[in-house]
Amino acid sequence: MMTSDIAKRLSIIGVVVFLLAAGLPAQAAADSDDAASISWDGNLRLATEGDEFLLEIRGRLQPRYEFEANGDPFAPVHSSVYLRRARLDFQGHVMTEELTYRLMPEMGRITTLRDGWFDYRFDDALRVRVGQFQIPFGWERDSSSNRHQFMERSAANNEFQWPSGRDIGAQLHGTLGERFRYGIGGFSGQGRNAARSNSAGNQFSGRLTATVVGDYPSSEVLTEPVDGINVAVGTGGYYAFANDVRDWEYRSGEPPQVRADVLSATADAHLQWQRLSMHLSGYAQQVGSRTGAFASYRGLGATGQLGVLVVPERLFGALRLSDAAPWGYDDRRREQKATMGMQLFQRRHAAKLQVEAGHRRVDDGGEVTASHLLQIQYQLLF
């Protein structure tokens, strides 16, 4: 992204925040000498009297150290310290509590927009969201990375989800009774921050979850034992037609603008009981080339996670196995990864230290590489 584009995005964000914080409540201020309020409750909150207009500002910092070596610890493949995530999160509502919005820029490794949407609630069963956001598809996008058992989403998720997990479009979503959640929408098919579409077609995605027993497990990590048992299942899928998918180049050896039809599906199951937290996900995908630039292929993937709350509000440990295996094209690529991790809570998720060690094996068309990984990260939410 060019510097001018970055400045333009930040300027737009600044103008919107200024209008929400200062300009929009002007009419309310005319009616009352004490119409606006500023407070702190874990995040900065600006509101007019009666909460007609609301702006909440949150932040996230995740400095990280990474180390990777292929057997020889004195000759690392990769070693670095960087900001994995540095985000400001602007949320609130305008004119009515039913009309909510979110703006979340990323200012870590690159400056870009993660989320930018508004959402109108007709009732619990029907909401409409328009903008850029996470598409309804898989479990690992259902909850924030702040509350995941591991620093990054799994190898299988990253292979079979929609690239970057976000896109620009519109969706219907809501809750049906106390047990079901759904989301379904249509999107540009170019992923986040796309200025225009080079694709002939678009992308459609949907997800449905059911809470079988207890509460929906919106957090992978437990900070205190579960009261009872939580069991949930889910399924999702997306279809992109005549799509200029941006990450096919490494498979086909061809430059971008290689159009394909992509069908991807997932199913998942979740169990939380006392101090245990278990999650299973499976993936399947079919990719068909429209131009003949590469051979059509299929793929399967799976992820299993088991977490244990060792000391309530202090220590959580987890193990994950993930296997991503697309096949059927010339340069077959399979990634297998085993990771162990622990989280040391200082103030639950608001301040915690994460340490992970893992082993990754990649078979890239018969060329096998294996590496050991170490990651250390501190998370601060404000």
**Per-residue pLDDT reduced to its tens digit, 345-358:** 999 999 999 999 99
What pLDDT does 73 receive?
A: 64
pLDDT at 37: 87
Report how far residue 83's alpha carbon sits from residue 86's, in angstroms, rounded to the nearest whole number.
Answer: 6
Q: What gap in Å lies between CA 221 and CA 186, rounded to an integer?
A: 31
Mean pLDDT rounded to a whole number for the chain = 85
CA 313 to chain centre: 24
User: Do residues 330 and 302 make contact, with C-beta atoms less than 8 angstroms apart?
Assistant: no
* Averaged pLDDT, 197-209: 84
Segment 81-109, tens digit of pLDDT:
999 999 999 999 999 999 999 999 999 87
Reported confidence tier of residue 300, pLDDT bands at 50, 70, 90: very high
β strands within 138-275, DSSP E: 166-176, 180-187, 203-213, 229-244, 259-273
- Tally Cβ neighbours within 10 Å of residue 264: 23
Q: Region 226-240: what's the mean pLDDT?
A: 96
Q: How many residues does the chain have?
A: 382
Pairwise CA distance, residues 203 & 274, whole Å: 40
- β pairing state of 333-345 and 351-364: antiparallel
DSSP state of 42: S
Give the pLDDT of residue 370.
Answer: 92
Least confident of 19-23, 71-75, 207-211, 257-261: 19-23
Encode 316-335: b = buried (16+ Cβ within 10 Å), e = exposed. bbbbbbbbbbbeebeebbbb
Q: By the 8 A CB rule, do 108 and 87 touch?
A: yes
Q: Span 198-205, mean pLDDT?
A: 81
**Which percentage of the chain shows pLDDT scores above 90?**
62
Mean pLDDT value of segment 144-164: 93
> How far, in Å, CA of 161 to CA of 238, rounded?
9
**pLDDT for 26 beyond 50:** no
pLDDT tens digits, one per residue of 316-340: 999 999 999 876 544 567 899 999 9
Lowest mean pLDDT among 44-58, 113-127, 279-293, 324-338: 324-338
Read off the tokens for 74: 């004195």
Cα–Cα distance for residue pair 324/333, rounded to 1 Å: 8
Task: State the pLDDT at residue 12.
Answer: 45
Q: Give the contacts of 336 (CB within 8 A, at least 6 positions apart).
A: 155, 322, 323, 324, 360, 361, 362
Q: pTM for the full model?
A: 0.84
Strands 78-94 and 166-176 turn out to be unpaired
pLDDT of residue 189: 86
Range from 17-31, 48-62, 302-316 carrying the lowest mean pLDDT: 17-31
Q: Is the dihedral of CA 41, 45, 48, 53 positive or negative?
A: negative
Integer Cα distance of 159 and 283 in angstroms: 9
CB 351 within 8 A of CB 379: yes
Greater pLDDT, 18 or 78? 78
Q: Which residue in the block uniquely carries the two structure tokens 């990771």?
A: 339
Summarize pLDDT for 106-135 with one digit per residue, the tens.
Answer: 998 788 899 999 999 999 999 999 999 999
Question: Region 218-224: what's the mean pLDDT?
Answer: 95
pLDDT band at 256 (very low <50, low <70, confident <90, very high): low
